[in-house]
Amino acid sequence: MTTKVIVDTDTGIDDAMGCALALRSPELDVVAFTSIFGNVSVELTTENTAYLMEVFGRTDIPLAKGAGGGLVGKPNYSPHVHGDDGVGNAGFPRAKTIKPTKESAAELTVALAREFPGELTYVALGPLTNLALALAIDPDLPKYLPNVVWMGGNVWVPGNVTPVAEADAWHDPEGAQMVLQQHGWNITMVGLDVTDDTLLEEEDLRRLEKGPAEAQYIAAMMPFYMDFYSRKLGKFACAAHSALTVAIVADPSLIIESEMLPVQVELNGSLTRGMTVADRRTNGSNGGNPEWPDTPLTNVLKDVRRDAFGKMFMDRICGN
């Protein structure tokens, strides 16, 4: 059986890897892509997603344009991480055939959830703004869209845009808080705790460069990303945040360890805004959450099978 997924993406480099893996995973049936601001503007993430869909020959899938900013404040982008175009300044042409739907990302999400009640998994590779807006349209959304897997947040490791905040939580803390506090969802948080040290290495890049056109498309954008990460890692490699998230949806056996924890997002701190705060003193296995009684539990990943993920990604993208 396949899992129907909506992939919500702020298509920068690692997000393109995740979208590519979703299209190459037989366990997944991508019923829609939705775009969101984040790594670059929503105009660019929409265009990047459209071109990716054409490269992979999936012009049959709807693409809906989403939010251009968070629920509060103005967006901030990461050209030093993903390039001015979001895809490593690779110089790709514009998409020729794919145009966004008339429906917004939030509207399409609600419509598909009602069309496939209980069947969809929402895979969020960027800020949670689109899902928060969909919830505002239909407060009963979790009844129809029960499963959410989010590439965002951090609990056990430092942040990556501030000392304590991960990028996708920091881009829209209000949206993330709105989603994480909504009862009825089964939310899995694939945060920096497992993504930041799940790496693709230089040898993987060389294999992609020699692969089919789809693999070469991924390879064309990776050097920019690896240059950025090399300053942090001390070697030519990069984190595969979004691709790992998609892989876990396709194959949950990649998860080694997780904890059910109450998670909230700091909205007001001058130093801590966007921090995902988990109460690690209590969890779902030892009696609940006395201090945050109305906060649902989130499945927060702690460890994954990194080698198995790497093999899955490389084999599927390279066509083996």
Q: What's the rounded Cα separation, in Å, for the pair 273 and 156?
A: 17
Catalytic residue among 85, 193, 204, 241: 241
Tokens 């071109």 — which residue?
51
Is 171 known to be catalytic? no
Q: What are phi and psi of 303, to 5 degrees?
A: -155, 150
**Radius of gyration for the chain, computed over Cα atoms and rounded to the nearest angstrom:** 18
Give the contacts of 312 (CB within 8 A, at least 6 positions apart): 21, 247, 250, 251, 254
Catalytic residue among 10, 14, 172, 204: 10
Is 241 known to be catalytic? yes
CA proximity to 20, closest of 221, 197, 254, 186: 221
Q: What's the rounded Cα separation, in Å, for the pair 318 and 81?
A: 25
Structure token pair of residue 76: 């901030």
Among all residues, which ones are annotated catalytic? 10, 241
